[in-house]
Structure 1
Amino acid sequence: MAEAERPDDRIIDMLSDDIGKHILMATDQQAMSAQRLEGHCDASLATIYRRIEDLLDVGLLRERVEIQADGNHYRRFESNLDRLAVTLEDGNLDIDVERRNDAPDRFRAIWDAMQSGWK
């Protein structure tokens, strides 16, 4: 039976992939749409969307939905990676990921903690 893939392994895979790296680097300073990322990453839009989904799954990217006055919705993506450290000790490779924690994220964490305290 094959060994299940660990989350750390998926993160390493994402960072070793050129397209995944370019998406993270391009979205570090500002959120971008998949169409805009297509120009930064030299890949097809379908490939960009696959990498976006992979990065969202491991928490290295986050999605923002913008609603325009005309009712259209636009998905934009931004890096959620603040710091990443890789250590090799006693034959084990470990990854420590620090994700960005902006004001809405902090508020959500406080709200969740308050609600769990009420139960």
Structure 2
Amino acid sequence: MPEDDRSIEEILDTIGDQHARRLLAAVSREPKSAKELSEECDLSLPTVYRRIEMLEEYDLISDRTLVAEDGNHYKVFESNFESTVISLEDDQYQVRIYRTENLPDRFSQLWDELGAE
């Protein structure tokens, strides 16, 4: 869902949820599995998974699959943004989510833009 199509109320409801904020704080420090989040935040696994789904819907967290030493696969979740700014402009609220981009991606994007000119 493009950011422009998201209403301010939906984003504020998502980050206003106490459990969602606790999960965001936990994954902002380092990637964690759902089980680790459940234990650290003292939440049930179903609650963790519901909030993860809600946060993923707004692209506030992302997941990646890791392989354990025993060969089993599991997902870890991590924050997908650096900061959020909510501003009031011309009697309307605006939400800006600043994403984390790595340097090679930014360089590739810049290079592609220079080549297009």
Give 1:91 shift: 2.0
In the alignment, which residue of structure 2 is the partner of 1:40?
40
Give 1:7 shift: 4.5
Structure 2 counterpart of 1:36, which letter? E
TM-score (normalised: structure 2): 0.78
**CA deviation vs aligned residue, 1:63-105 (integer Å, no higher than 9, x gap):** 010023543111000111201110112221110001111357x
In the alignment, which residue of structure 1 is the partner of 2:99?
99
Taking the aligned partners of 2:45 and 2:103, their CA distance within structure 1 comes to: 31
Structure 1 counterpart of 2:44, which letter? S
Q: After superposition, where does 1:17-36 map in structure 2 within 5 Å?
A: 17-36=17-36
Structure 2 counterpart of 1:66, which letter? L
TM-score (normalised: structure 1): 0.77
Q: Which sits farther off after the overlay, 17-26 or 94-103?
A: 94-103
Aligned residue pairs total: 108
Find the residue that maps to 1:27 and give its secondary structure: helix
Taking the aligned partners of 1:9 and 1:35, their CA distance within structure 2 comes to: 30
Structure 2 counterpart of 1:84, which letter? T
Structure 1 pair 89/103, CA: closer, same or farther in 2 (3 Å)?
closer
RMSD over aligned Cα, in angstroms? 2.4
Structure 1 counterpart of 2:30, which letter? Q
Structure 1 pair 40/10, CA: closer, same or farther in 2 (3 Å)?
farther
Structure 1 counterpart of 2:32, which letter? M
Structure 2 residue 33 is matched with structure 1 residue 6: no
Q: After superposition, where does 1:52-71 map in structure 2 within 5 Å?
A: 52-71=52-71
Structure 2 counterpart of 1:56, which letter? E
Taking the aligned partners of 1:103 and 1:52, their CA distance within structure 2 comes to: 27
Structure 2 counterpart of 1:57, which letter? E
Structure 1 pair 15/72, CA: closer, same or farther in 2 (3 Å)?
same
